[in-house]
Amino acid sequence: MDVSGELSIRGLTVDYGGAGGVRALQALDLEVEPGSFHAILGPSGCGKSTLIKVLAGLIPRTAGEARLPGDGSVAYVPQGNSCFPWLRAEENVAYGLKLRGVGRRERAERARDLLKSLGLEQFSRAFPGQLSEGMRQRVAIARAFAVEAPLLLMDEPLSALDFQTKIAVQAELVDLWRDRRCTVLYVTHDIDEALTLADRVSVLSARPGRVALTAEVPFARPRHQAGLREQPGYAAAFRKLYEAIEG
Amino acid sequence: MSAPMRVLRAIAIGLILPVALVLLWQVASSREWINSLFYPAPWDVMQRTWDQASGGKLPHDARVTTGRLLAGFAFGAAPGLAVGLAAGVSRTIRQLLYPLATALYVVPRIAMLPLVLVAFGLNDEARVFMVAFSVFFIVFFSALSGVEQVDRIFVDAARAFGAGKVRLAATVLLPASAPAVFAGLRVAMGFALIVIVGTEFLAANDGLGARIWLSYQIFDFPSMYAGIIAVTALGVLLAWALLAVEWLAVPWRR
């Protein structure tokens, strides 16, 4: 997989509903280093999901440009329960591979490997309806990693999980990312989650969204959200992001 | 109480009223509280049903009716599904078809029979068309609304992985709308049975509908009831068959 090249967004503007509609993003600039984990924070309604959807090719942009890393292909984990209910766990994971024309045997192998690394090998034949919320999100994450795209777009993938499950999936997610070194753009509303997962965090302003602040996360890996508050410098890092979100 | 006992108890309670009604009917008919010419006792009806079933008449008519019904169901459901899915995907197709389909949907099916007989003649094509015509619109609208109700998140997930229109329809819209389509098929099967029996009343010499109607006209009421029982049994069997197909085709809803 070619992960070279950075994600570079210049002057990205997105309007909903044509002229006289709502401006969701206003001349947004963002640089994301190749292979880095970049979190996007921001007040509710600031256009975080819009940014992700534009990059995923789901919403047209009004102006500006975005250069994507590698071959320009992306993988996407939408906000909410996005596993296809009619496909078994392994078929869900293999979905993107099937669209890309990967053969049956290789699909099954890669799906099994991913499910195994997420502790779901016993549930590969289960339908999403038979899985817990945490398992379903693991399947959605595995589905995104399976295609080995150079850019992984994640829209609050863990926001519906209880704290314990969230901590566990965070660790698995970071392991998968470190193995593959793809670039991750990760939207969250949770400052602690951003500080746990990301190399850098960008805060979007209230609508129309633009980047108000980009900050390095000063903590060494491995990190753990439950122990984050004992890290020296946590309070300052948290306050800086919080104040940027508040505007 | 153990689980099997609870099930047996529920079945027993459910049987109380039907059994009581049949017994009441038997007593009322044999004691001539009601006119046994029009309302023959259940025992006589059972005997007649058995005679006609073993004599081959009833199986012949059941085969004829089933053949017409299934042919009409297939000719209505397959295009109904295809066109309904297409209308769900394409706004242009939807705008083209929706007004006409809505208008034709409300026409009482049996009111079409004279026109259909003029067009096809008094033959099986006409009878099959009557069924297909009613099934088509029910399946069309259920497929259309099935597609319209597909959760946006599945469409977004598939498109982000690079699914174009055809792949999106095949891998997301079709399976996601399957439960709505099967709900429509169940309703359509009920309609198909009503329409084929009504059509056979008026425009057939064989088939269960014709048997019921002819028996009524010659005052052979036990045979009429035998026909009604056969039609009911056919309806139950077809409903079960459809449930079995759904069970196989929509495994994630089990």
Considering only alpha carbons, which residue of chain A is nearest residue B156? A58
Q: Chain B residues with CB inside 8 Å of A74's CB?
A: 160
Q: Considering only alpha carbons, which residue of chain A is nearest residue B161?
A: A96
- Chain A residues with at least one Cβ partner in B under 8 Å: 53, 56-58, 73-76, 78-82, 84-87, 95-96, 98-100, 127-129, 140, 147, 153
- For residues A231 and B92, give the distance between their C-alpha atoms in angstroms, rounded to a whole number: 59
B28: its two tokens: 């009322």
List chain A domain ranges. 7-242
Residues B72-102 pLDDT 10s: 999 999 999 999 999 998 899 999 999 999 9
User: For the segment B197-229, what is each residue's pLDDT rounded down to a tens digit?
Assistant: 999 999 999 999 999 999 999 999 999 999 999
What sign has the CA pseudo-torsion A156, A159, A165, A170?
Answer: positive
Contacts of B158 in chain A (CB under 8 A): 95, 99
Contact between chains at B157 and A86 (C-beta distance less than 8 A): no
Nearest CA-CA partner of B65 in B190, B237, B216, B208: B208
Q: Is B180 on the interface with A (CB under 8 A)?
A: no
Q: Which residues pair with A151 in a beta bridge?
A: A74, A183
Fold of A7-242: Rossmann fold (3.40.50)
Put simply, whether B179 touches A (Cβ < 8 Å) is no
Chain A residues within 8 A of B157 when measuring between CB atoms: 76, 78, 82, 84, 140
β-bridge partners, A154: A77, A186
Q: Where in chain B are the domains?
A: 1-39, 40-253
What is the predicted pLDDT for the residue at A1?
Answer: 56
pLDDT at B123 over 60: yes
Distance between CA atoms of residues A1 and B131, nearest Å: 56
Q: How far apart are CA A187 and CA A227, in angstroms?
A: 22
Q: What is the pLDDT of residues A13-27, one digit of tens each?
A: 998 887 678 889 999
pTM: 0.84
**B188: nearest Cα among B108, B134, B144:** B134
Show residues of chain B in contact with A81, CB under 8 Å. Answer: 153
Say whether pLDDT at B1 is over 80.
no
Measure CB to CB from residue A86 to each of B160, B167, B176 and give the nearest one: B176
* β-bridge pairing A200-204 and A37-41: parallel
What percent of chain B has pLDDT above 90? 87
Which ranges in A15-87 belong to alpha helices (H)? 48-55
Task: Provide the pLDDT for residue B122.
Answer: 93
Distance (Å, whole) CA A168 – CA A159: 13
Q: What span, in angstroms and rounded, lies between the C-alpha atoms of B116 and B203?
A: 11
Tens digit of each residue's pLDDT (9 = 90 or more) over B155-189? 999 999 999 988 999 999 999 999 999 999 999 99
Give the pLDDT of residue A3: 60
**What is the CATH superfamily name and number for domain B40-253?**
MetI-like (1.10.3720.10)
Q: What is the pLDDT of residue A5?
A: 80
pLDDT > 70: percent of chain B: 100
Residue A46 in 3-state DSSP? Answer: coil
Residue ranges of chain A with per-residue pLDDT less than 50: none
